[in-house]
Amino acid sequence: MSFILKHPSMNRLSVIFFAVLLSSFNLFPVEAQYHAPAETIFTRQDSLRGSITPERAWWDLTYYHLDITVNPVDSTIYGSNTVTYKVIKPFGLMQIDLQEPLNVMKVVQNNSVLKFKREGNVYWIELAEKQEQGKIYSVVLTYGGKPKVSTRPPWSGGITWKKDKNGLPFVASSCQGDGASLWWPCKDHMYDEPDSMLISVNVPGNLMDVSNGRLRSVIKQKNKTKTYNWFVKNPINNYGVNINIADFAHFSEIYNGEKGPLDCDYYVLKEDLEKARLQFKQAPMMIAAFEHWFGPYPFYEDGYKLVEAPYLGMEHQSSVTYGNGFNNGYRGVDLSNSGWGLKFDFIIIHESAHEWFANSITYEDIADMWVHESFANYAESLYVEYYFGKEAGSEYVLGTRANIQNDKPVIGIYNVNHEGSGDMYYKGGNMLHTIRQIVNDDKKWRNILRGLNKDFYHQVVKGSQIENYIIEKTGINLKPVFDQYLRDIRIPVFEYSLKGNNLSFRWNNCIPGFTMPLKIYISGKEQVVKPTPFFTNLKLETENAIIKVDPGYYVATLNITGK
């Protein structure tokens, strides 16, 4: 997903000013730790939604067949989901999630009807048959009703029912955060993904459905409707599954990438076809840039699709949805205020970056959403760098600092479906850019980015696994850096003073024991220093040197003598 700007008028200067202000008034003493606000209260429903309950843990998803009829006339969805799973540990009760106002009507296993109870958005299904370890079973869940309508897609989940210029339905789903159980019954936790999935969507005969994976068949039904069968060959995360229903125009091309020919298919409203043919030229440019930085596009088997949607956009796996108006920038705005943000279409670049960081490497708990958003945000600057050079990419990252709030930690609260601060975007991107300065070896840095995508290919991860991987591969103790930027709200201040040729410096406004190497310029001469929360003295060659901190590091600077 893409973040919405809260204070677009705030500029870079005001952030630096704010950071310095914080440190001079010492609002956050060195030893202070950030604590979550006490008013955050979670319910049993939050725990059922956000944790790996015993009723989820005993079975491993292998396959879903979602088979639904979507009726734009009365805004309903009716159908079934067949859930196929392998028994890890025999158990008699299964948790399936489906959110109100939708209802499960019937549950069947091997021709016998099962009993179930509803508790809010959770269905407790009593299995009649003995569930033997290692064996594969299926349950068929029949469900339907009028799914929640999204009030602010994609930030509020639900179905969007709109019309095109010819008055034909233009329908789409979006559900990150709220969860896929908003529109279909499933195991609504990110830790478990099916190995593959069939999505069958029945729609009025004059419309088409575009979902994930490849279009396997279109079946004409007797009642003048059509069923589109989309098959996903790879593991898919639940919020990545989507429906897009409209009278689409279609065009395609083949991109010759690192893993061979990649089918790229584009579906847009007929009225937008000409604009799309021009704007979507950025799709193969995006693949070229991200294959360079991150390695092969992760879903060659399922192809790459860009699908017009009646909202801004979302990283639906192998069918990225697009609603950015066929203009560059974020709805025409440069989020970095550097000029570089208008050189590319934010939604094509940002949402497609999620194919690597979100759809291939997926967070287990939404508290670690930074794994998706920090890297997707950082990817924007790498795209800029690939086409416009290193300096341009750096200007883009630094420009986005004005959007950082430093309001809450980037990491949310685990096991209750809780996201951290929106800072997971710009601050996360700046943290990665800072780490790149510390690594100070572009080849190594790119190998780490590619290594992440190779070693965690198609995996669900904890954020700490990504942190540990980067620590291991860089050989640098970056734990304090991750803790500072992901688990605290303070931006470290490099405090220094000069007396003659004696430079004295430390980190302040930081977590206890914070260390991070920093590149400074002493009268223009580059030097890496290793400040700690205690003052260190350094004898300089000359008196009255001019001290400058490398702007690539996201830190504040304060000359404590005020000079």
3-state secondary structure of 402: helix
Per CB under 5 A, which of residues 240..269 are in contact with Zn ion? none
Minimum gap (Å) between residue 280 Cβ and Zn ion: 19
Of the pair 427, 506, the CB lying nearest Zn ion is at 427
What whole-number distance in Å separates Cα of residue 52 and Cα of residue 64? 19
Of 1 and 371, which CB lies nearer to Zn ion in the complex structure?
1
Q: According to DSSP H, which parts of 400-541 are helical?
A: 426-439, 442-455, 463-474, 479-487
Q: How far is the CB of 499 from Zn ion (least distance, A)?
A: 48
Provide, rounded to whole angstroms, the least separation between the CB of residue 386 and Zn ion: 19
Edge-to-edge strands of the sheet including 536-539?
A: 536-539, 502-508, 493-499, 556-559
- Least gap, CB of 376 to Zn ion (angstroms): 4
Of the CA atoms within 13 Å of residue 373, those in its CB half-sphere come to 24
Is the CB of 3 or the CB of 59 nearer to Zn ion? 3
Name the one range near Zn ion by CB under 5 A: 132-140, 366-374, 471-479, 518-526.
366-374
Q: Report the DSSP pairing between strands 502-508 and 493-499.
A: antiparallel
Nearer to Zn ion among residue 372 and residue 418 (C-beta): 372
Residue 128 C-beta: closest distance to Zn ion, Å: 43
Q: How far is the CB of 354 from Zn ion (least distance, A)?
A: 6
Smaller CB separation from Zn ion, 376 or 413: 376
**CA–CA distance, 161 with 297 (Å, rounded to integer):** 31
The DSSP result for 19-70, as a single string, is: HHHHHHTTSS-TT------TT----HHHHHHHS--HHHHTEEEEEEEEEEEE
Write the CB contacts of 325 (distance below 8 Å, at least 6 apart in sequence): 331, 332
Q: Is 398 within 8 Å of 551 (Cβ atoms)?
A: yes
Shortest CB 363 distance to Zn ion, Å: 12
Segment contacting Zn ion by CB under 5 A, of 32-40, 50-58, 78-86, 367-375? 367-375
Q: Which residues contact 153 (CB under 8 A, 6 or more apart)?
A: 160, 172, 174, 310, 311, 312
The region of 86-94, 263-271, 370-378, 408-416 touching Zn ion under the rule CB under 5 A is 370-378
Q: Answer for the pair 521, 547: CB distance below 8 angstroms, yes or no.
A: yes
Is residue 320 a contact residue for Zn ion (CB under 5 A)?
A: no
Question: By CB under 5 A, which span of 129-137, 209-217, 218-226, 368-376 interacts with Zn ion?
Answer: 368-376
Bridge partners for 226 per DSSP = 203, 220
140 vs 432 by CB, closer to Zn ion: 432
Q: Binding marks (x or -) toward Zn ion, 272..301, rule CB under 5 A?
A: ------------------------------
> Does residue 314 belong to the site contacting Zn ion (CB under 5 A)?
no
Pairing of strands 361-363, 459-461: parallel
Amino acid 353 reads A
Nearer to Zn ion, 355 or 373 (CB): 373
- State which residue, 56 or 433, has the beta carbon closest to Zn ion: 433
Residue with tokens 């508790």: 119
Phi, psi at residue 39, to the nearest 5°? -75, -5
Give the binding range for Zn ion (CB under 5 A) out of 2-10, 33-41, 65-73, 187-195.
2-10
Residue whose pair of structure tokens reads 């998803």 in the numeric block? 61
Contact 145, 292 (CB under 8 A): no
Nearer to Zn ion, 188 or 373 (CB): 373
The pair of structure tokens assigned to 177 is: 């955060």
Per DSSP, which regions of 205-270 are E strands? 208-210, 214-220, 225-232, 244-246, 248-257, 260-269
Rounded distance, CA 191 to CA 49, Å?
12
| Residues in region 185-214 near Zn ion by CB under 5 A | none
Q: Which of residues 371-410 bind Zn ion (CB under 5 A)?
A: 373, 376
Cα 2 to Cα 155: distance, rounded to the nearest angstrom: 9
What's the min distance (Å) between Cβ of 174 and Zn ion? 12
Q: How far is the CB of 1 from Zn ion (least distance, A)?
A: 5
Closer to Zn ion by CB, 114 or 397: give it.
397
Which x/- pattern, by CB under 5 A, does the window 60-99 give for Zn ion?
A: ----------------------------------------
* Cβ distance to Zn ion smaller for residue 1 or 210: 1
The whole-angstrom separation of Cα 536 and Cα 469 is: 30
Residues 438-477 vs Zn ion: string with x where CB under 5 A? ----------------------------------------
Give me the least distance between CB of 369 and Zn ion, in Å please.
9
Work out the number of other CB atoms within 10 angstroms of the CB of residue 14: 13
DSSP 8-state code for residue 458:
T
Q: What minimum distance in Å lies between the beta carbon of 425 and Zn ion?
A: 7
Which amino acid is residue 171, in one-letter code?
A: V
Residue 1 contacts Zn ion per CB under 5 A: yes
**Positive or negative torsion for Cα 263, 267, 268, 274:** positive
Q: Which is nearer to Zn ion, 8 or 261 (CB)?
A: 8
- Three-state DSSP at 432 gives helix
In terms of CB distance, is 374 or 508 closer to Zn ion?
374
Stretch that binds Zn ion, among 44-52, 199-207, 268-276, 365-373 (CB under 5 A): 365-373
Q: Are strands 320-322 and 304-308 parallel, antiparallel or unpaired?
A: parallel
Q: Which is nearer to Zn ion, 384 or 516 (CB)?
A: 384
In angstroms, give the least distance from the CB of 384 to Zn ion. Answer: 17
CA distance 131 to 87: 7
CB 286 to Zn ion: min, Å: 14
Size, binding site for Zn ion by CB under 5 A: 4
Closest distance of CB 38 from Zn ion, Å: 30
Query: Residues 521, 401: contact at Cβ < 8 Å?
Result: no
Q: Report the alpha-carbon distance of residue 378 to residue 356 in Å, rounded.
A: 12
| Binding site residues, Zn ion, CB under 5 A | 1-2, 373, 376
